[in-house]
């Protein structure tokens, strides 16, 4: 079976280094917020091009803590998209703030800047730009809007580790960048992990306190929480970070193969934004007869995914309870038309050829 994502294959790629790094932690005497975490924070800051990185327990926490660091909470609103992992919205709600959802652009499936004015209110404090499937949202327009309204731009970079926009790494452009390091991500741990980036030293200091009970010298200066990154996950991420650019290049080559050999068939292939370097966390195509195609692929030993099958605003926990734009047609139209093809650095060209051949047979 060719699966959609394969974190175990990446472990095998770097198995000896990962096992050595993990064993070093296990034989040491510090398992939480030790040298591995501080080293990862330094190395990731240098990689992204920011002054500070703070390790946290997971990607959802990274967004929640970022919002709390900006004093966003009850009575505030945060604008983002419905076409995203529900974690983005769950993190907003965890602060007590209200999520306000807009539609996505038809070509790139990222936040539609043209709807921001409609949804802006005197309660709006921030926009979370989700960099979806490996490439940037329209940061020029979103950043301009944020500056004009004097609100915060937060980047959700959970699907775009290493991607750039106009030569800058995503996660270095907004006031704060938030990363999930879930095992299937481009930079994935072997469990839950998250990272927060910023160029604001005051925010970095506050975020460090918020991730551990709001402590300063073990006295709670803020009402914080427990969201510490453990040493084992940091050690794994340090190994994988060394290979992130080369692994992303492997993803680009696979994406180029799919683009070249699926062109001209009845599939809508990904559009790549100008001045953006995608890292193809996912390779998402729009198709007809989606469920039939998924079943056909599976019968041929190919597991495709769906990201995402139901928009957040139509899920039972949120339907009718969350403010949305007057036009969500692109988001709602995508839900039953998109599939994610297998995409990971260890996917072989032979397997990619089989995926293409099977898609052509179905079409």
DSSP sequence for 215-226:
EETTEESS---B
Burial class (CB in 10 A: 0-12, 13-18, 19+), 7: middle
CB 195 within 8 A of CB 189: no
* pLDDT value at residue 51: 98
Q: What angle do CA 118, 122, 128 make, to 5 degrees?
A: 65
Strand 98-102 vs strand 77-81: parallel, antiparallel, or unpaired?
parallel
From CA 79, how far away is CA 141, in angstroms rounded?
14
If one looks up domain 244-362 in CATH, what number appears?
Answer: 3.90.1150.10
Strand 77-81 vs strand 124-130: parallel, antiparallel, or unpaired?
parallel
From CA 340, how far away is CA 330, in angstroms rounded?
17
Q: Where in the chain is the domain with CATH 3.90.1150.10?
A: 244-362
Residue with structure tokens 């699926």?
Answer: 262
The closest alpha carbon to 243, from 282, 188, 165, belongs to 188
Residue 108: DSSP 8-state: T
Q: Which residues of the chain have pLDDT under 50?
A: none
* pLDDT value at residue 363: 81
According to CATH, the topology of domain 7-101+109-241 is 3.40.640
* Secondary structure of 126-177 in HEC code, one letter for each residue: EEEEECHHHCCCCHHHHHHHHHHHCCEEEEECCCCCCCEECCEECCCCCCEE
Q: Where in the chain is the domain with CATH 3.40.640.10?
A: 7-101+109-241
């Amino acid at each position: 079976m060719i699966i959609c994502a394969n974190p175990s294959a990446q472990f095998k790629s770097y198995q000896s280094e990962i096992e050595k790094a993990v064993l070093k932690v296990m034989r040491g005497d510090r398992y939480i917020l030790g040298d591995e975490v501080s080293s990862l924070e330094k190395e990731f800051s240098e990689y992204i091009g920011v002054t500070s990185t703070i390790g946290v327990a997971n990607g959802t926490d990274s967004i929640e803590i970022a919002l709390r660091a900006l004093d966003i909470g009850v009575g505030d609103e945060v604008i983002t998209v419905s076409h995203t992992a529900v974690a983005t919205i769950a993190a907003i709600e965890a602060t007590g703030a209200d999520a306000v959802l807009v539609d996505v652009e038809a070509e790139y499936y990222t936040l539609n800047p043209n709807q921001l004015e409609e949804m802006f209110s005197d309660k709006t404090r921030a926009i979370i730009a989700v960099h979806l499937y490996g490439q940037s949202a329209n940061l020029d327009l979103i950043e301009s809007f944020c500056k004009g309204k004097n609100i915060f731009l937060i980047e959700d970079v959970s699907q775009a580790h290493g991607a750039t926009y106009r030569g800058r790494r995503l996660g270095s452009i907004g006031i704060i960048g938030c990363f999930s390091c879930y095992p299937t991500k481009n930079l994935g741990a072997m469990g839950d992990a998250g990272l927060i980036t910023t160029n604001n030293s005051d925010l970095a200091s506050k975020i460090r306190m918020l991730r551990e009970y709001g402590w300063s010298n073990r006295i709670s200066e803020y009402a914080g929480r427990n969201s510490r990154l453990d040493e084992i996950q940091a050690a794994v991420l340090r190994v994988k970070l060394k290979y992130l650019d080369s692994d992303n290049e492997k993803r680009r080559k696979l994406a180029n193969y799919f683009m070249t050999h699926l062109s001209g068939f009845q599939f809508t292939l990904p559009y790549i934004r100008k001045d953006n370097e995608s890292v193809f966390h996912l390779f998402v195509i729009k198709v007809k007869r989606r469920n039939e195609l998924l079943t056909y692929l599976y019968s041929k030993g190919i597991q495709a995914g769906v990201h995402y099958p139901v928009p957040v605003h139509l899920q039972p926990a949120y339907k009718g309870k969350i403010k949305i734009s007057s036009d969500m047609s692109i988001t709602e139209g995508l839900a039953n038309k998109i599939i994610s093809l297998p995409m990971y650095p260890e996917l072989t060209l032979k397997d990619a050829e089989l995926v293409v051949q099977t898609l052509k047979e179905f079409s």
